[in-house]
Amino acid sequence: MMGLTAKRCNLYDLITEEVSFAANGITAAGLRAFDGVLQSNITLKTLDLSGNLVGDEGAKCLCDILVNNSSIEKLQLNSADLGDVGAKAIAEMLKKNSSLRVLELNNNMIEYSGFSSLAGALLENNSIRNIHLNGNYGGALGANALAKALESNKSIRELHLHGNSIGDEGICSLMTGLSSHKGKLTLLDIGNNSLTAKGSFHVAEYIRKSRNLLWLNLYMNDIGDEGAEKIAVALKENRSISTLDLGGNNIHVDGVNAIAQVLKDNLVITTLELSYNPIGPDGAKALAEVLKFHGNIKTLKLGWCQIGAKGAECIADALKYNTTISILDLRANGLRDEGAQSLARSLKVVNEALTSLDLGFNEIRDDGAFAIAQALKSNDDVAVTSLNIASNFLTKFGQGALADARDHVLEMTEKEINIFL
């Protein structure tokens, strides 16, 4: 209780803008200590109570305190044992509070009733910008409730709904609501929501119409090649999305080829996440052929994509000509020494863009390490500052060669390379 008391004293500090009480064992009873303090504090902007099992009673107590607070802009109640009753209390507070901008309620037990309450609050609240509801139990009905509220709400900029079992039916309602949304939503996270190709049709329709969305996460659904192709068609008409996450969607060569073709004429997308899709070497080839001279991809993630040494050779060839890729993730692709050697040959070529290369979990042995080490030593203009080659099969000799290369580059060019072994 001494830690809580000390931090409580910090709330009287009229200079402190952020206080974290995360994972402090605070319960509903402990939150009563904030009564009278938060009302008088006019400088605190961020209050983090995540990881405390405050439950619904604690949420009700906190909301009674915060309803008239005019300074707190960010409230974090992640993993706080909140249910529908707690969500309702928060919703009632939102109807009256006009200072809160960011609300985090991730990993709680909020179901349809709680989503419905929060949706009702969004009809009246015009100040909330970001709402995080990842890892709850909203389902299709919860998505439908939010959709109706979003048609009228103009303030929401970020909507985080990862892992809510929304499904295709729920996503249809949600995309319909967002298509009528009068505000400027810039971030949408609908990853891990059991979406299939059917659901991707509705997402694609929204993408096609959106003019403000910058970041779209569809990670860990099951849209497959058919869904990827629908998304690709929509992206041809979209010129706002810069970050696209399609990781873990059972996308094969046809799907990734469709996405690749979009990049020929799209300079807006700068981050592309395709990890955990079995695109294989042919998928890597289709992507590499486009990225060699087209697109504006700066971060490319292809971990766990089964591209093998042949796929790595295609990517390596593209790197000889590509001038945009700065971060490249090729983890767990079975590259082995042959793939590492292909990449090493490309590292010998002047590439001013590539700064981070991740080759972890690739069954690379000493021969592959020797090739990469030699490439780093022979190219005085190497731009790489981070190389991850951990979780491979290097002996002390391969590790020593890479360490020696790192030291050589530092001595000759005064450039530091962080090598993770």
CATH class of this structure's domain 309-420: alpha beta
Q: Provide the pLDDT for residue 6.
A: 39
Report percent pLDDT > 90 for the chain: 86
Please compute the mean of the pLDDT values over residues 218-227 and round it to a whole number.
98
Give Rg (Cα) of the chain: 25
Give the residue with greater pLDDT, 71 vs 393: 393
Please compute the mean of the pLDDT values over residues 120-129 and round it to a whole number.
96
User: How confident is the model over 242-286, as pLDDT tens digits?
Assistant: 999 999 999 999 999 999 999 999 999 999 999 999 999 999 999
Residue 421: pLDDT band by 50, 70, 90 thresholds? very high
Q: Which residues does 2 contact at the CB level (< 8 Å), separation at least 6? A: none
- Stated as kind and residue range, the H or E segment containing 160 is strand 158-160
CA-CA distance, 1 to 67, in Å (whole number)?
A: 26
Q: For residue 389, what are its two tokens?
A: 């080659």
User: How confident is the model over 163-173, as pLDDT tens digits?
Assistant: 999 999 999 99
User: How confident is the model over 324-381, as pLDDT tens digits?
Assistant: 999 999 999 999 999 999 999 999 987 789 999 999 999 999 999 999 999 999 988 8
Please compute the mean of the pLDDT values over residues 135-142 and round it to a whole number.
98
pLDDT tops 90 at residue 70:
no
Q: Provide the pLDDT for residue 239.
A: 95
pLDDT tops 80 at residue 39:
no
Please compute the mean of the pLDDT values over residues 300-314 and round it to a whole number.
98
pLDDT tops 50 at residue 5:
no
Q: Provide the pLDDT for residue 15.
A: 59
CA-CA distance, 160 to 158, in Å (whole number)?
A: 7
* DSSP secondary structure string for all residues of 227-281: HHHHHHHHHTT-----EEE-TTS---HHHHHHHHHHTTS--S--EEE-TT---HH
Q: Provide the pLDDT for residue 11.
A: 52
Please compute the mean of the pLDDT values over residues 231-236 and round it to a whole number.
98
DSSP-derived 3-state class of residue 380: coil
